[in-house]
Amino acid sequence: MAEMKHKKISYQEFLNREYEIFHAPYQEETEFFETIKSGNLKKTQQLLAAPFHKKEGFGTLSKDPLQNLKYHFTITTAMVARYCISGGMSEAESFSLSDYYIRLADEASSLSEVSEIHRDMCLNYADRMQKNLRGRIVTPAISLCINYIYEHLHTRITLPTLCNVTNLSGPYLSRLFKRETGYSISAYIQSKKLETAKSMLVNSDYSIAEISASLSFPSQSYFSNLLKKDCGLTPRQFRNQRMGRMTLDS
């Protein structure tokens, strides 16, 4: 049987995909998005006092009330995701969260259920932003390293490359990186590649081979072994479990 040819993809192609936004958010919602972006959990909770489905001013995107609310939920979640990215959350984390909650809302069967998902989504983002801001990297060299890593997950990133980017020696950069992030450079790169791979497995139709190649893992088997070591599941099992498709395949 001839081996199937896969189109060459980029993980950035996956991360940078755009949602269809029906119209711009209302001006008065800017404060709401900024509150979540700032990680202000207390104020976010206050702004969520009224259930999402009882909020006034929604446009009519569907004649069906439940579908209409789901459309507005999708718009709100997409906006929250982008505000948080602009505030420092990684694209992989933010888009993975938004896809997760949009999928939950799509399966909701009542207005109140969508409202509960909306509340959980907003508080989750605000909580993560609060933690991100408190633990934000302050050394310019390490910020430069992390930005480079996120932008080049599709390549093989080495210590010499990061030394060239930061103009620091290998031993010094390694110590500084470990001190500020709690990870060795190699462990950090590996964790971010796995984080992105997991998101791609759940939120795209890319094959396991395509995902492995797009993130420059040495081989598909290496990627599979790495994921199994991380969470006890093969890529196929991880995708099936997260998508709610329990199969007998291993």
Check: CB of residue 44 under 8 Å from CB of residue 35: yes
Do 178 and 122 share a structural domain? no
CA atoms within 13 A on the CB side of 239: 17
Specify the number of domains making up the chain: 2
| pLDDT at residue 78 in the model | 92
| pLDDT at residue 200 in the model | 83
Distance CA 58, CA 56 (A): 6
Identify whether 187 is part of a domain. Answer: yes
CATH of the domain at 208: 1.10.10.60
Identify whether 94 is part of a domain. Answer: yes
Tens digits of per-residue pLDDT, 30-60?
A: 888 889 988 888 889 988 988 998 887 777 8
Identify whether 155 is part of a domain. Answer: yes
CA atoms within 13 A on the CB side of 177: 25
pLDDT tier at 244 (50, 70, 90 boundaries)?
low
Tens digits of per-residue pLDDT, 165-206?
A: 999 999 999 999 998 888 899 999 998 899 888 878 877 788
Do 150 and 130 share a structural domain? no
Segments forming the whole domain that contains residue 197: 140-242
Do 148 and 105 share a structural domain? no
Domain termination site, one of 116, 134, 152:
134
Do 57 and 34 share a structural domain? yes
Domain termination site, one of 101, 134, 167:
134
| pLDDT at residue 249 in the model | 41
Do 106 and 28 share a structural domain? yes
Domain termination site, one of 90, 108, 134:
134
- Does this model's pTM top 0.75? no
